[in-house]
Structure 1
Amino acid sequence: MAQGRGWEGAVLRLMRAKDFTLTVTGAEDVTPRFRRLHLTDGGLLAATAVHPTMWVRLWFDNAGKPHQRAFTLVDPDPAAGTFSLEFALHEGPAGDWARAARPGDTIEATVQGTGFEEPSPAPSHILAIGDPASLPAINSLLDALGTAPATVWFENAENAENTENAGNAESAEDAEGTAVGLPFRTDPARHEIRHVPRAELVERVRAELPALLAATPDPYVWIACDTRTTRTLSAYVRKELGVPRERTHALGYWRAS
């Protein structure tokens, strides 16, 4: 497939993207709607190093045409050369492949565009805004930033329309999901999850974020929702609330159809 990835593959090659072959070693159904695949990395972690919220693009066949989607690494282990990926089991090339995947199956992966710059000074409070598509990245972020307290506005998408999005970064196969889909990796003593009905997220963040920002000296605001919501909230945080760019991170994880 490396030679047949269409214009997306051509652009990535020009941007010096790195390609790897992943091999499935096992699978588990986390819920009836989500499946976690365990994979060997084909040398990926040794070649690229690991950072929080790291994601890779996987290449699927879609009726003879290349189809790429991005997924956040779960529990990457550079020493073992392994990680896991989590799939929403909806109709589409990614979900179909994950549903059928068995040990020994392989898939091509590309690394390009992922990155994370740890804020300095360390956050005194993490303020994260996301939805089911970005939950693996939220878990990775909370793991990486240590003991800082966190408030997470989490959009429940039980009424979401089908979308083409990145299983957890930049786009994913379907943003449908609920707060009880994949599990949060949170510590109730320092992490607060505020569940928000779909379509009310922007209003809730506008109402609640300013007071939390005013109460912490070194905030870190992390936003990963659909592209439109991410742009709206990013502009609000930076332009209206005046949070410096280096204290924010925003990436649209999927596009509504």
Structure 2
Amino acid sequence: MGHGWEGAVLKLFRGKDFEFTVTGAEDVTEHYRRLHLTDGGMLALTGVHPTMWVRLWFDRADGRHHQRAYTLVDPDPAAGTFSLEFALHDGRASDWARKAGPGDKIEATLQGTGFDVPDPLPARLVVIGDTAAFPAVTSLLNAMPDVPATLWLETQHASDHDLGLSLDPALHDLHRVERRAAGGHLVDEVRAALPALIEDSADVYVWITCDTTTTRALASYVRKELSIPRHRVHALGYWRPEKR
């Protein structure tokens, strides 16, 4: 597969290429779509780990390729199947997801997806994300089922509240925050509440997966102002406005 300079870089880092086939699709809400796919032999080769994700390749209007990453939902190595979920907005990836149906194919690269559950387990898990991060958040909570977690999840649409997470009320404290000021409102909410939750900065694990700008602001805050060790912070910008 040829994917320009991005593809060449991923090849240098031993990225593995696959082709997925869509077997079904469902609109969870008008702004959230789930696709079911066969894996092109990927899972039998690579296995599965928590928060596992793949890079999908899309064509831009200028003819160039670009990739976007999506977390696997319900991967089944024996069947060679999984699902992907798309928080729909403007951009080529969402355009493809809106139209995709049975028989459609898409090229993908697996590289950079490794994640190890923190050892030792933290006393508290802090999760900050938005609807694009729902699959990863679900996988993360399933990987640490007995760890208390406080979650801030940013929403953009009223229907986002219909997207359910499997939470344990005894362990999980969920705060939904409306998206305002391009993520600035979420940053303010977290900064106001998070310090009171942290008794020992070395005994918490913080997972931040928002848009790129918000993720950078929050990662800088928890590392520099709350002194949480770098190895106890996972920060990855999940999306940014796409060029068409």
TM-score (norm 2): 0.88
**Partner of residue 149, structure 1:** 148
Report the Cα distance in structure 2 between the residues aligned to 1:206 and 1:142, rounded to whole angstroms. Answer: 22
Residue from 20, 23, 26 that aligns with 1:22: 20
Do the aligned partners of 2:131 and 2:155 also contact (CA within 8 Å) in 1? yes
**Partner of residue 185, structure 1:** 166
Kindly state the Cα deviation for residue 157 of structure 1 after the two structures are TM-superposed.
Answer: 2.9
Comparing 126-135 with 228-237, greater Cα deviation is found at 228-237
Report the Cα distance in structure 2 between the residues aligned to 1:185 and 1:144, rounded to whole angstroms. Answer: 13
Kindly state the Cα deviation for residue 8 of structure 1 after the two structures are TM-superposed.
Answer: 1.3
Residue from 236, 239, 242 that aligns with 1:251: 236
TM-score (norm 1): 0.84
Do the aligned partners of 1:124 and 1:216 also contact (CA within 8 Å) in 2? no
* Partner SS for 2:161: coil
Residue from 199, 207, 211 that aligns with 2:196: 211
Report the Cα distance in structure 2 between the residues aligned to 1:157 and 1:33, rounded to whole angstroms. Answer: 9
Report the Cα distance in structure 1 between the residues aligned to 2:116 and 2:230, rounded to whole angstroms. Answer: 12
Comparing 87-96 with 241-250, greater Cα deviation is found at 87-96
**Partner of residue 222, structure 2:** 237
Kindly state the Cα deviation for residue 211 of structure 1 after the two structures are TM-superposed.
Answer: 1.4
Do the aligned partners of 2:212 and 2:239 also contact (CA within 8 Å) in 1? yes
Structure 1 residues 66 and 226: alpha-carbon distance in aligned structure 2, compared to 1, 3 A threshold: same
Structure 1 residues 152 and 178: alpha-carbon distance in aligned structure 2, compared to 1, 3 A threshold: farther
**Which residue identity is paired with 1:38?**
H
**Partner of residue 78, structure 2:** 79
**Partner of residue 121, structure 1:** 120
Instruction: Tell me if 1:50 matches 2:48.
Output: yes
Report the Cα distance in structure 2 between the residues aligned to 1:81 and 1:153, rounded to whole angstroms. Answer: 33
**Partner of residue 171, structure 1:** none
Structure 1 residues 102 and 196: alpha-carbon distance in aligned structure 2, compared to 1, 3 A threshold: closer
* Partner SS for 2:95: helix
Comparing 11-20 with 42-51, greater Cα deviation is found at 42-51
Q: Deviations over 1:172-217 (max 9, x none)?
A: xxxxx86326332322232111112322111221121111111798
Report the Cα distance in structure 2 between the residues aligned to 1:218 and 1:71, rounded to whole angstroms. Answer: 29
**Partner of residue 166, structure 1:** none
Do the aligned partners of 1:24 and 1:104 also contact (CA within 8 Å) in 2? yes
Report the Cα distance in structure 2 between the residues aligned to 1:178 and 1:50, rounded to whole angstroms. Answer: 31
Count of aligned residue pairs for this structure pair: 237
What is the root-mean-square deviation in Å for CA atoms of aligned residues?
A: 2.1
Give structure 2 stretches of 5+ with no counterpart.
none
Q: Deviations over 1:136-156 (max 9, x none)?
A: 211111111112121101122
Identical pairs, percent: 64
**Partner of residue 138, structure 2:** 139
**Which residue identity is paired with 1:145?**
M
Kindly state the Cα deviation for residue 56 of structure 1 after the two structures are TM-superposed.
Answer: 0.7
Instruction: Tell me if 1:69 matches 2:73.
Output: no
Do the aligned partners of 1:34 and 1:181 also contact (CA within 8 Å) in 2? no
**Partner of residue 95, structure 2:** 96
Report the Cα distance in structure 1 between the residues aligned to 2:89 and 2:225, rounded to whole angstroms. Answer: 38
**Which residue identity is paired with 1:154?**
L
* Partner SS for 1:39: strand
